[in-house]
Structure 1
C-alpha cells in the first residue's frame, strides 16, 4: 500500500480569518474541540494511508445542477438552487448515511498539503443532512496543468472578490469535477470542522488523493478572483484519520 503525508490546515489557528468572523487575528487553542484540519508532523502517526476502494460510497450527481454563481468574499462559489427539500440535491452515500450538496466554494491556496506541498487552490463540496445541517465536505486540490479542465471551463465569467455580483440560474455538470479525481477512488478521511464560518464541528472530511488539473489560463482566472484564505497547519487532535 502507498503512504503519503497529509497535512491539514487548522480551523482554529487562522492565517487570515477565524471563526465565527473574518476579522479576528488572535491565535486560539484547540483544547476541547475538534479542529479542521491538522498537521501530521506533530502526531505519532506521521504517515497516513489513503483508502483505495471503489465501494466506499456512492455519488448521485447525475445531470446538470442549477444554482447561483458568486464570490464568497475569498473566491468563486456556487449555491445549489433549493426549494426546501435537500433530498432533491445531488448526494453522496457512505457508511449508510446520505448527505446532500448545498454548494461549493474555492480556497486559495489549498487548505490541505500533501508531503509538504500545498496546491494553488482547493474546491470544497459542502454537504448537509436532510435537515440542512452541515455534515460532510468533499475536498479537491486544484493545480495548473497542460490543458483545460471541463468542470472549470463551464463556469461563468469569474466574479471579483469585492464585486458583490451574482450570476443566477446557472446550470453546472458537477460530475465533471468528480471525474477529474476518479470519483474519490483514493482519499484521506477524518473528522473535523468547516474551515469557513460558521465553522461547524463534527464534519466528515474526504480529501481526494488526485488533484484536479486546469490550464494555466484557468488557474490564473481562479486566482484572479480569489484572495488568500488558507489556514495554518496544526497538530492532530482526535481527528480519527482514515477511520
Structure 2
C-alpha cells in the first residue's frame, strides 16, 4: 500500500463488516444531535482506495485475498434474475400500516447509517426477512458511495445496505438497493433528519422511521439478483447472502446532494466471480 493511503487509512474509524450496527443505547431526546462515543471506532490499517491488497496488510484479513465468495461482484441482466431464495418480510411497515421503528441515526465514517433499538442480545423482536426457511432480523442500514455493485457495467451514485443477522447477532444477509438521482423526492430519504457528516462520527440522533419505504421504492424486491457473498470490508467474512434489487431507488437532486455531501469513498474493488452461485 502506498504511504499516502496508509496515512489515509489511519485517519478513518474501524468498521467490521461495513458499519458497526452495535446495540447503541436509545437516546433520551429524539431528533436532537447528541455527542457520544461509539463502541468499536478505533484506528484501522486499511482503506477502500487500496482494497485490492487488504489481504497483504494484516493476517486477519487473509479471507479478503483468498476467499471464494467475496463481494461485491458485477451483475448483469444477461445472468437473468433469481427465481429462488425468494425473501418474504414480516414486521416492516408498508403503505397500509403504521408500524415504525426507533433507532440511532449517525455516520459510520463513510456515510449515513442507522441502528435499530433492541434489547441486548435479543434480535427476534426486530423486523424480519425469511428465505430458504431461515429467518433473519434487520439490525440496521448504512450507505456506500459510490455503489458497491455494478449492473451492466454501470455504477450508481450510492448503495443502501439493509443488514440482517441471525438470532445470535451474526451477519447473514444483506438487501442491497442502488441509489440514483431523479426528479421526485424519495419517501424513504424525506423522512430522515439532516445528514450527519463523515467527519462527525461522535454525533448521533434518536429517530423514528419507516424501514419499508426503501423496500417499496424497489417494488419490495420482486425482481432481484442473489448470490453467496461476504462482508465488503475487512475481515471480509463469507457466509452472507446478498439480494440486489433490479430496480433503483430514486431520490431528488437535493436529497442526493445531501447524501453525497455526508459521504466519502466507500466502494470496494469489484471481485472476480468464482463460487458465488449467482441466482442458483
- TM-score grouping bracket, smaller chain normalisation: 0.7 to 0.9
Q: How many residues align?
A: 223
Structure 1 residues 32, 198: closer, same or farther in 2, change over 3 A?
Answer: closer
Structure 1 residues 172, 196: closer, same or farther in 2, change over 3 A?
Answer: farther
Structure 1 residues 166, 52: closer, same or farther in 2, change over 3 A?
Answer: farther
Indicate the structure (1 or 2) with the bigger Cα radius of gyration.
Answer: 2
> For the residues of structure 2 that align with 1:70 and 1:19, how far apart are their CA atoms?
13
1:67 matched to 2:97? The reply is no
Deviations 1:173-208 (A, max 9, x none): 011100000000000000010113453311000000
- Which has a greater percent of helix? 2
Ranges in structure 1 where 5+ consecutive residues have no aligned partner: 1-15
> For the residues of structure 1 that align with 2:139 and 2:183, how far apart are their CA atoms?
31
How far has the Cα of 1:234 moved from its partner? 2.4
Deviations 1:96-142 (A, max 9, x none): 11000010000000000111110000000000001101000000000
How far has the Cα of 1:40 moved from its partner? 6.0
Is the partner of 2:73 in helix, strand or coil?
A: coil
> For the residues of structure 2 that align with 1:103 and 1:191, how far apart are their CA atoms?
20
User: 2:80 — aligned with what?
Assistant: 49
Deviations 1:21-67 (A, max 9, x none): 452536247434421122469xxxx93111268x9221121311110
Structure 1 residues 39, 147: closer, same or farther in 2, change over 3 A?
Answer: closer
User: 2:37 — aligned with what?
Assistant: none
User: 1:130 — aligned with what?
Assistant: 167
Q: Is the 8 A contact 2:129 2:135 kept in 1?
A: yes
- Which has a greater percent of strand? 1
Deviations 1:190-237 (A, max 9, x none): 001011345331100000000000000000000000001012222101
User: How does the TM-score come out when normalised to structure 1?
Assistant: 0.84
User: 2:192 — aligned with what?
Assistant: 155
Q: Is the 8 A contact 1:40 1:236 kept in 2?
A: no
User: 1:37 — aligned with what?
Assistant: 72
> For the residues of structure 1 that align with 2:67 and 2:83, how far apart are their CA atoms?
32
User: 1:216 — aligned with what?
Assistant: 253
List structure 1 runs of 4+ shifted beyond 6 angstroms.
Answer: 16-20
Ranges in structure 2 where 5+ consecutive residues have no aligned partner: 1-7, 17-43, 56-63, 94-98
1:23 matched to 2:58? The reply is no
> For the residues of structure 1 that align with 2:163 and 2:212, how far apart are their CA atoms?
15
1:95 matched to 2:95? The reply is no
> For the residues of structure 2 that align with 1:223 and 1:32, how far apart are their CA atoms?
31
> For the residues of structure 2 that align with 1:100 and 1:197, how far apart are their CA atoms?
22
Instruction: Pick the aligned partner of 2:265 from 203, 211, 228.
Output: 228
Structure 1 residues 52, 212: closer, same or farther in 2, change over 3 A?
Answer: farther
Deviations 1:61-85 (A, max 9, x none): 1311110000000000000112131
> For the residues of structure 1 that align with 2:75 and 2:261, how far apart are their CA atoms?
31
